[in-house]
Structure 1
């Protein structure tokens, strides 16, 4: 992780030299969801890449966030591509997420946005890339502005998949829940240092009507910087480290997270 640390230090120095006075970037997390919908007409394209060691598995996600008329309503979709080190060491698409998010509250102090998600069974469950059936996910995002430089985001939610399938075709109804929080520090209006905590607990099918629980815990320190391209486009690159805690630490899980967002006013 020494190379990643050096990259972050250099990035912070360069960003502090090049930053200009601007509105503070609010969508400033990686694995934590902020409670801010897109402004009317502003569409966001997000790419993220997550590599994990010692499993040598990776996940690439493409996300597109689209406002629906006003800021109150937002549609988005997530297309995941994964490399899994199973029996066939394969790379394939996973289950696609179709999201609706409602801006329940957005004040200078606090923002609240619940998200409702349909999980589409596009992944090949026989190879471990999906559940083989449609599922439902809910996530509650809360963002709190602590000061001009400090922001705190909170997430809590669950996933429900009836009659999920494992690679052998065995079925069971599985449930999972997630919790996370992030603390953001604005080095400049366009540069954010962040530290996230993310916990996921998910049931998996092990045999017919039998399931087990798998849990992961990560701390994610990182940095993001925004660059304006013209008057209506913003590019946000970011990088972070995934450090395992609890069971994830025992298994020596660690990784790197790379982020790139392009946000532009299209209408």
Structure 2
């Protein structure tokens, strides 16, 4: 194996609020390493976005996007990594990582900062095309960081396990020297045992602009691993916001995930939710749907809804079918609410009407009868969890009797900022046709509020059942029509509860 010098230019752009420095020895630039993981979680209100890109001498390339959220502060951090690659004319998404990192130790005195990370590797890449491993895997990494005046030392140790495919331990380390408050030089090294070794010298330079900070850097790694060339571009965006809040109950959409929330649309409000979903189940196979739902609040405990799968199209590379999907009608009933007025238990009965053309494969041609039990709860100031269980009698078509279907799902979301609400979800169907087996899937995305009346959403969904790794992407918009500040319904009870709580606090002073 020959030793080759690999030129790499890494640009790192960051925008961050700069806190007042209590100590003159505190470092101005942290958490901007290129190859080695530093053991600093994001603080409350800070969301970091990282994009990397590398190009091989063969012309192939790799890229990844990572987003990190405090959950809700630096003790716990959630993130996900979505990698992409293209080689020999074949490209697509690779195996996705869902990450959790715990700030086990905060640096102080002789104590280093330590924050172990645990990652679930999802088989989202197509194994047949060399884009994924085809199995669910695990990765563990333990970074430790310690400052010695103008020198910061970072060390990593971890392990990646892909059952039946690979099991690889790795170690990494770096030393960062502070030449001046806003200029650092560093040396990084990463080793995958018995596979590769990379040594990378580089620098980073920063500037403060009021409450913002700009950092750029460059590095030149030397890699011993079959001459692989990596070129990466890193962007870093951690704005600081005021303490996040939960979104208003009037504007929370039930899309885009499978799990339904427990809240009821307020009296007299019309909430419209629409979007698109694109699936790529296999080579030359594509499908698209455009779901639409309208919800209207009838009383403080009841909303009515009507929805449709919208325009549906599917192709197998030879033929294409296009038509309208089925139509759903239903009602959500609030059974139990907490003192603040947010429902924590609701039920959702619904009927699926066969408006789709069964001859095109868009439905069975029979009615479906569904009943779901919805439960949800806030956890702390920032987190919310919903859990659904559903049972249905599903039409089999062709004159066959209906069969029973069970659904279980859970969704967790965090108010990362005043407007941004990322979430992750897992759901399971006992079967989707009379002779079929169970289906499981996971998805992750975010809802972003544009004021009190509008919200946009988007995310990625992956089937993890058996050998099927179908991936879909979706996005949409929700809007509220009506008097969103009306003195009635759930929203009014929430405001009333807040006013009473404030009055009680004032009376005890």
TM-score range, shorter chain: 0.7 to 0.9
Structure 1 residue corresponding to 2:206, chosen from 217, 226, 239: 226
Instruction: Tell me the residue number matched to 1:18.
Output: none
5+ long unaligned stretches in structure 2: 11-23, 243-509
Q: Kindly indicate whether residue 195 of structure 2 is the aligned counterpart of residue 215 of structure 1.
A: yes
- The residue that corresponds to 2:51 in the other structure is 47
Compute the displacement of 1:176 (Å). Answer: 1.2
If each structure's strand is expressed as a fraction of its own residues, which one has the higher value? 1
**1:42 partner SS:** coil
Match of 1:126 among 125, 128, 133: 128
The residue that corresponds to 1:72 in the other structure is: 75
Tell me the SS of whatever aligns to 2:221.
Answer: strand
8 Å CA contact 2:95–2:131 kept in 1: the answer is yes
1:128 Cα offset (Å):
0.9
Q: Which residue of 1 aligns with 2:239?
A: 264
Q: Note if 1:62 corresponds to 2:65.
A: yes
Counterpart pick for 1:146 among 140, 145, 148: 148
Match of 1:198 in 2: 190
Residue 155 (structure 1) aligned with residue 156 (structure 2): yes
- Please list the CA deviations of residues 204-244 of structure 1 after superposition, one character each: whole Å capped at 9, or x if unmatched: xxxxxxxxxx711111122223344552x444333322311
Distance of 2:166 and 2:227 partners within structure 1: 26
| Distance 1:112-1:240 versus aligned 2 partners, 3 A rule | same
| Structure 2 residue aligned with 1:91 | 91
Larger RCO, structures 1/2 (Cα 8 Å, 6+ apart): 1
SS where residue 179 of structure 1 aligns?
strand
- Name the residue aligned to 2:408: none
- By how many angstroms is 1:107 displaced? 1.8
1:182 paired residue number: 174
Residues 1:51 and 1:242: Cα distance change in structure 2 (over 3 Å): farther
**In structure 1, the residue corresponding to 2:50 is in which secondary structure?**
strand
Match of 1:167 in 2: none
Q: CA deviation at 1:173?
A: 4.4
What is the rounded CA distance, in whole Å, between the counterparts of 1:40 and 1:103 in structure 2? 13
DSSP 3-state at the match of 1:263 = coil
* Structure 1 CA distance for aligned equivalents of residues 74 and 146 of structure 2: 18
Measured in 2, the distance between the counterparts of 1:23 and 1:151 equals 9
Offset of 1:23 from its aligned partner? 4.7
| Number of the residue aligned with 1:238 | 217
Instruction: Give the secondary structure class of the aligned counterpart of 1:26.
Output: coil
Partner of 2:488: none
Question: What is the rounded CA distance, in whole Å, between the counterparts of 2:165 and 2:56 in structure 1?
Answer: 28
1:124, 1:132 within 8 Å by CA — same for their partners in 2? yes
Distance 1:97 1:139, change over 3 A: same
**TM-score, normalising length from structure 2?**
0.41
Find the aligned partners of 2:91 and 2:201 in 1 and give their Cα distance.
28
Alpha-carbon displacement from aligned partner over 1:120-173 (angstroms, at most 9, x marks no partner): 1111111111111211110000111122x21111111011122xxxxxxxxx34
Q: Which runs of 5+ in 1 are unaligned?
A: 9-20, 163-171, 202-213
Q: After the TM superposition, which residues 3-18 of structure 1 pair with which residues of structure 2 at under 5 Å, given as runs? A: none
- 3-state SS, counterpart of residue 158 of structure 1: strand
RMSD: 2.5
Alignment correspondent of 2:481: none
Decide whether aligned partners of structure 1 residues 122 and 228 sit closer, same or farther in structure 2, where only a CA change above 3 A counts: farther
Distance 1:46 1:156 in 2: 21
Tell me how far 1:93 sits from its aligned partner: 1.2
Give the TM-score, by structure 1 length: 0.75
Deviation at 1:90, TM superposition (A): 1.7
Aligned CA distance change for structure 1 residues 96 and 230 (closer, same or farther; 3 Å): farther
Structure 1 residue 257, shift from structure 2 partner: 2.9
What is aligned with 2:85? 82
Relative to structure 1, the CA distance from residue 138 to residue 37 in structure 2 (aligned partners, 3 Å threshold; closer, same or farther) is same
Distance 1:242 1:255, change over 3 A: farther
Corresponding residue SS for 1:255: coil
Aligned to 2:218, what secondary structure does the other structure show?
Answer: strand
Q: Secondary structure at the match of 2:40?
A: coil
Whether contact under 8 Å (2:133, 2:165) holds in the other structure is no
